[in-house]
A and B are shown apart, each in its own frame.
Chain A
């Protein structure tokens, strides 16, 4: 069974600094997708970034980048130049590749990020 682990319940960062949110995963499937979502206090789930298991390069989307280390089964989210509006809960998720669970997202426990001015 697929498993996602986020070991940091909470993280603090100073505005304008970079922060890394950890995510490790476990799967026996060679084909999978990794996602990060942001959930602000308003409650919506916002897609941030995607990394495919066969992608050769780390994904980047603006200030977000994904540090993908396949051998270590980690997919850490790096937020550069943190802003106050980055304060939120962040979820790492993995998509099942096929079978009866095709398309299913398995989520980690989440990390609450607080950005200090």
Chain B
């Protein structure tokens, strides 16, 4: 049973296209995240949602739009893809306790996006 799943695992597309990445978690967590890992392996947060409400939006171009239809799903839609969007995108989830617990984030397998 996969805890955090993402589809697709690989995505190859042309510049200018629009694409979506889907994420689902079956851990019962209330908070979900999108992280971007660049070619140098550096990981940076993009967005987080708590109970379907946007909490963090880290100076990401507005071509990136997250959507959370329910607590278990957080999708990422990217418009007008650019070469610089090529990266690995990770979804993660956690149960936020306000700092009283570990609030450990569990990551999905990642989606490798290649923009040609």
Chain B, range 63-111, C-beta contacts under 8 Å to A: 88, 90, 92, 94, 96, 99, 102-107, 109-110
A-B contact count (CB 8 A): 68
Quick one: given A45-B90, A103-B33, A103-B55, are A33 and B103 in contact (CB under 8 Å)?
Answer: yes
Q: Which of A33, A35, A103, A109 contacts B48 (CB 8 A)?
A: A103
A89 to B41, CA, bound (A): 9
CB-based contact B56/A47 at 8 Å: no
- Listed in ascending order, the chain B residues whose CB lies under 8 Å from chain A are 31, 33, 35, 41-45, 48, 50, 55-56, 58, 88, 90, 92, 94, 96, 99, 102-107, 109-110, 112
Total A residues in contact with B, Cβ cutoff 8 Å: 28
Inter-subunit contact B104/A101 (CB<8 Å): no
Report which of B41, B43, B92, B104 forms a contact with A50, defined as CB distance below 8 A: B104
